Amino acid sequence: MTTMSVSLRSIPDTQAAMGWAAGHTVVIDRPEGRAGGMGLGFNGGQMIALAIGGCFCNDLRYLAEALGVEIDRISVDVEIDLAGTPSLVTAARLTPLVTGRGDIAGLIARAASESTVASSVQRGFPVTVTTT
């Protein structure tokens, strides 16, 4: 089993948060005017969509290398539906476009069935909150 961790901290003089893992950072905020948001970064729904799409892009690359498929270009659009209170993601749709040489359709189908984030979301997993 592999464990990954990230950290988030509030950004001074804003109500946004900076998240990081290793040397990579991202800003998380709410839309301007919503609960003190300043629109400085991605909101939670956008982060979920980015995680699903980003993981799919990476999985395409991993699988292409393993299968000997050459990728020239990847384009992935992700839409999510939110509903209810609290707001929950009720569906996600990926639209990939991959150009290259080899079995591109097979590559996309395999990535769809093996994507780490998409598979995790579909199966669900516990989220616990522990206070210190």
34-66 pLDDT, tens digit per residue, is: 999 999 999 999 999 999 999 999 999 999 999
* Per-residue model confidence as pLDDT tens digits over 11-40: 999 999 999 999 999 999 999 999 999 999
* Per-residue model confidence as pLDDT tens digits over 116-129: 898 898 888 888 89
Rounded CA separation 35/73 (Å): 39
Q: What is the mean pLDDT of residues 4-10?
A: 95
Collapse the DSSP code of 84 into the 3-class scheme (helix H, G, I; strand E, B; otherwise coil) and give the result.
coil
SS3 string, 22-74, reads CCEEEEECCCCCCCCCCCCCECHHHHHHHHHHHHHHHHHHHHHHHHCCEEEEE
Contact 19, 46 (CB under 8 A): no
Q: Is the pTM of this model over 0.85?
A: yes
- pLDDT of 132: 83
